[in-house]
Amino acid sequence: MSQTVLTQQDGSYGTDVTRCICGFTHDDGYMICCDKCSVWQHIDCMGIDRQNIPDIYLCERCQPRSLDKERAVLLQQRKKEHLSGVCTFN
């Protein structure tokens, strides 16, 4: 059964590992755990609808599929900037 959590205030998961396609390990508030290898990933990067979380979740290594890595990187860069209070203008 997939675990979806809003993590603790310090962003910790104990000994769990965060490995997301975006390359970032920060907690954006919406994470999901692979039911096979127990790695944590950002829900939005993995293209999962927050309103329709699967009962069983497998990461892209345990269940290979196409994902938009560039989109994930841009999304998490923006989220990380927002979380740190930094704004950038292009």
Residue 72: closest CA among 28, 33, 9, 38: 28
pLDDT of residue 77: 92
Residue 13 has pLDDT above 60, yes or no: no
Specify the DSSP element, H or E, that contains 72.
helix 69-84
Question: Model's pTM, two decimal places?
Answer: 0.74
Where do the structural domains in the chain lie, given as residue ranges? 1-83
Band of the pLDDT at 48, cuts 50, 70, 90?
A: very high
Q: How far apart (Å, rounded) are the C-alpha atoms in residues 75 and 8?
A: 22
Q: How far apart (Å, rounded) are the C-alpha atoms in residues 79 and 54?
A: 23
71 with 65: CB under 8 angstroms? no
| pLDDT tens digit sequence for 32-45 | 999 999 999 999 99
Residue 64: what residue type? P
Band of the pLDDT at 83, cuts 50, 70, 90?
A: confident
Taking CA atoms, 71 is separated from 5, 17, 68, 74, in Å, by: 22, 22, 5, 5
pLDDT of residue 10: 47
Band of the pLDDT at 81, cuts 50, 70, 90?
A: confident
pLDDT of residue 12: 47
Assess if CATH 3.30.70.1170 describes domain 1-83. Answer: no
